[in-house]
Structure 1
């Protein structure tokens, strides 16, 4: 079969401009992601259980920072205290995960590259 001439990559000038714009946007997203990572490391996200009897604080990256346990929680006994700590940890983890997801969606929301999001 004869080769068709002038096919190139099948990109017209308009497609090249779209590709250049997409690459520029991807670079902006990469820079934004780096800043987001730094912001998440500095965040303190609190999870609570038992109406505040136990609080757990994590960074936006789900790194534990501290736990606050009231005397009332201690007085409930070890089993109840263990459950309260676990619930507070789950609450903090869910909040930090939601925060990370929301911030990433804000960052990449208008990036229209095939196979990413949306």
Structure 2
């Protein structure tokens, strides 16, 4: 027995690191709430056909609106349907990438000790 009072293998240094990690985690949690609000307010635009069809979604993929240029109507229903689908995918991919980037920014520097 060493008598250094380290119980459970956690020395004071580890406890301090753990306290810092909890503090950072709390900051991340607060940042996540703020980020969620920002994402809801964002407008991310996907488009197709050189801008003939635009789909606008929020940062968390909530559909906001679709804009269809008058010229797109002349393309016929089938092509128009394809353009809307492509624009939706574009908007979705952009919003997903934006969300991922923002989450990485938020969690960078969060290192849990001993893990």
SS at match of 2:50: coil
1:15 matched residue in structure 2: 14
1:104 matched residue in structure 2: 103
Distance 2:96 2:76 in 1: 30
Distance 1:19 1:94 in 2: 37
2:82 matched residue in structure 1: 83
Contact 2:56 2:64 in 1 (8 A): yes
Question: For 1:61-115, what per-residue CA distance to the aligned partner results, in whole angstroms no more than 9, with x for missing partners?
Answer: 100000000111111011100000000000000000000000000000110127x
Distance 2:44 2:56 in 1: 5
- Tell me which stretches of 4 or more aligned residues in structure 1 moved more than 6 Å: none
2:34 matched residue in structure 1: 35
Length, aligned pairs only? 113
SS at match of 2:112: coil
For structure 1, which runs of at least 5 residues remain unmatched after alignment?
Answer: none
For structure 2, which runs of at least 5 residues remain unmatched after alignment?
Answer: none
1:58 matched residue in structure 2: 57
Give the TM-score, by structure 2 length.
0.92
Q: RMSD value over aligned CA atoms? A: 1.7
SS at match of 2:56: strand
Question: For 1:23-59, what per-residue CA distance to the aligned partner results, in whole angstroms no more than 9, with x for missing partners?
Answer: 0000000000000000000000000000000000000
Residue 15 of structure 1 and its aligned partner are, at CA, apart by 0.4
